[in-house]
Amino acid sequence: MFVQCCVCKRIRVDGEYRLPWPGELTNEVAETYCPRCARETLQRIRSGEFAEMAERRAEERRRAM
């Protein structure tokens, strides 16, 4: 069972994140954020980027109705 970052696809091995070797990954992968991507994702949330995306999607839904 691996823990894999859903952004950069690195896996956690012995507390470190690195890219998996070909064929190393099994089907049992838990998705998470590595510390670096967690920080970047938080910054994007705080900068309002995700809020803008959500607003655009809501607007598209309104128009489709």
| 8 near Zn ion (CB under 5 A) | yes
| 3 near Zn ion (CB under 5 A) | no
The residue from 20, 29, 32, 37 that contacts Zn ion (CB under 5 A) is 37
The count of residues interacting with Zn ion (CB under 5 A) is 5
Interatomic CA distance for residues 19 and 44, integer angstroms = 23
Whether 2 contacts 12, CB under 8 Å: yes
Interatomic CA distance for residues 47 and 41, integer angstroms = 10
* Cβ closest to Zn ion, residue 8 vs residue 30: 8
Q: Where on the chain is the footprint of Zn ion (CB under 5 A)?
A: 5, 7-8, 34, 37
